[in-house]
Structure 1
Amino acid sequence: MGAFSKIIALGAFSTLAAAWLPKTNKEITASDGTNLFTTSNGKIRGVNLGSQFVFEPWIGESAWSDMGCGGQASEFDCVSSLGQDAANSAFQKHWGSWITQDDITEMVSYGLNTIRVPVGYWLREDLVYADSEHFPQGGLDYVKKLCGWASDAGMYIIMDLHGAPGAQIAENAFTGQMAPEAGFYVDYQYERALKFLEWMTGLIHTVNEFRNVGMLEVVNEPVRDNDKATSMRQNYYPKAFERIRANETSAGIDKNDYLHIQMMDELWGSGDPNQYLDDLYYAAYDDHRYLKWDTSVNVSRDSYINESCNDNRDSNTPTIVGEWSLSVPDDVQSTSDWDPSSNTDFYTKWFAAQVHSYEKQQGWVFWTWKAQLNDYRWSYQDAVKSGVIPKDLNLLESVC
């Protein structure tokens, strides 16, 4: 069955590359018939499930410590330290408690209609080199359960290959390991990732819980434009399209039910993702926008509001701003001028300004749903509770 075939009404689309809209082209409804995209005019309004299936210790130090991983830099390091059986038990307890069905219900009550689910290639356990790679096992059942809750609630789901074989960037826990160098950009690692994509495509089209997964991101935040990025665009991207589409064709999937294949957009800096692609049918693009790390923007409240109000993210179509936050540069984030508790008016306006620009595109997915930072600038859940984000997103202040 197609990703939405049990709950969709198909609509006409204008051009192949820009055909995708959950409301316009594929009607997604909750089990009670509710269409979450009606109130957003078809725009993605979502949250990332950070540290659910790819744990980044900075997001949840307390949970990380409770798992027995305190002092370890990544999932790979924690599993190596605990041993496979103890790690499996610890991670399965985490997977069952970090994001629950109550969280999905809370997201929907806030007007959110989408989740982005970061996963690692090790979710397909036979891809892991047992003699040299160490990752938790048993995650698939938890991914399935979570996607089932979201599908029942009528949410759209983006499945994101967040941690690629060999690590797509060096020394970053979001790859699942603190690799000394980015080892992803060689043929045998591409092949492991391609096998993951084929496998995930098959699951999405056959497992009921995955019925609202409409988009598969082929790699999160690869290296920026250099020889490795060129290799990825020239070798990995075309093969990803070829292998995903071959899987769908062989399974008899109607083209209207094909997955959208997502790549980082050109603004990310890895070059033009379309350069070596012959067929852009249901291609989609991911833009990550953190002013925190944009040194070209003056660090002031007025500057951030102005930049966000006038931010043109129109590089590829359709683009989703798949990661962004309210965090500011490290050297000022703890100062009184930027203190979240005493500057809620600014952060409220800045959130609205970013939404204003990102909804000129296909929409947005905030990083992240929850965190243990005592800082709502990285936690959508905490920002709502702090009054910075309204429970009704259509009541956002007009600041631009």
Structure 2
Amino acid sequence: MHLTYIAAAFTSVSVFVAASLPAPLLERYRERLSLETSDLALATIAYFITIMITLVCFGRVSDYLGRKPVSMLGAAVALLSCVVMINVDSLGVLLAARALHGIACGIATSAVATFAIDSAPPYPRWLAAATATGAPALGNSTGALAAGFAAEFGLAPEVVPFVGAIVLLTCALVLLALARESVPRRPGWLGALRPVVALPRSARGLLPGALAVGIATWALGGFYQAFSPTIAVHSLGTSSVLVAAVVFLSHQGAYGIAAPLSGLLPPRRSQRLGIVLFAAAACGIVVGLFSGSTPLVIACGILAGLSQGAAFTGSMRLLLDSTSLEERAGMVAAVNLIAYGGAIVPSFVAGQLARTAGLAPASILYAALALVAAVIVFSPRPAPPGRS
């Protein structure tokens, strides 16, 4: 099963590499296509909405068709999205590419993530949850940095990074073809396409805190994805795409590092410590943007990523400990659905605020979400069933 685990983990990372490549390049697209800042927020919203639709409709399909074919579909859609990105010449094509990214990432955060959880080695016990939550962050940070380097050194940044992602995704498809299925195929997959949010009863006592963490942290992730280039240009005074990539990497890269490290702590402690530090970091980002301090924005971005990794991975570990194998795909899809859904409204509001008042006032919204999440996490909740 180790080859299967490697194939699933590699596929998850590769899909998010492809999806994150446009993030530091959005300012270039805005200038080349004569777009508004709000159009960049619209591209992010298109990405989130298609992720949500995919999670609702495809979240349980792998329970019936198997993890392997659905994972291969996700990799194939991600590959197609890279082909479309190479040919972006209007806002409509950009939105279509981001929609394809959303479909691929929706499959990656449900079927592919569950495939990795199913096939992960039994020890260390935290590896499965760390892979499910950390692989997207590792992919996001790698893709953003690759695009930033390509732009900084004139390596056809709107073409070469996407060609590289196509190579990665082709390798992922080969690995998946060699992988072993982790669940038996059974009839009823058409019924599984019916939109359902599957929340196992055994995990419902844990959901308020987990979902609050997911919404607050993924909302800030959406902020970095949509506005890293704009932060670099308008708030930090540089047009360097590499700096935009570093701003994005400061958050997503740290998240990818913290996800496995959080396994050193009990899951509830990881969740609580993480959300407290995340709230402090979100407030620090607000201060940094208002003061125009590049070091403070990057330092707080790193802290936000580290603490998000701890908080969200701890939350996912609590949920996985309370659900059965048959419930995993639906539960993972539901949690990610609600987290991504919670990020759409802040992204839309922030886009409007950024157009009229600037990014610094818009960032206050994310700090407020983080503080509310911390309050919810520390509210009295039932102890999780099963092991901890």
Q: TM-score, normalised by structure 2?
A: 0.27
Larger relative CO (CA 8 A, sep 6+): 1 or 2?
A: 2
Bigger strand share:
1
More helix by share: 2
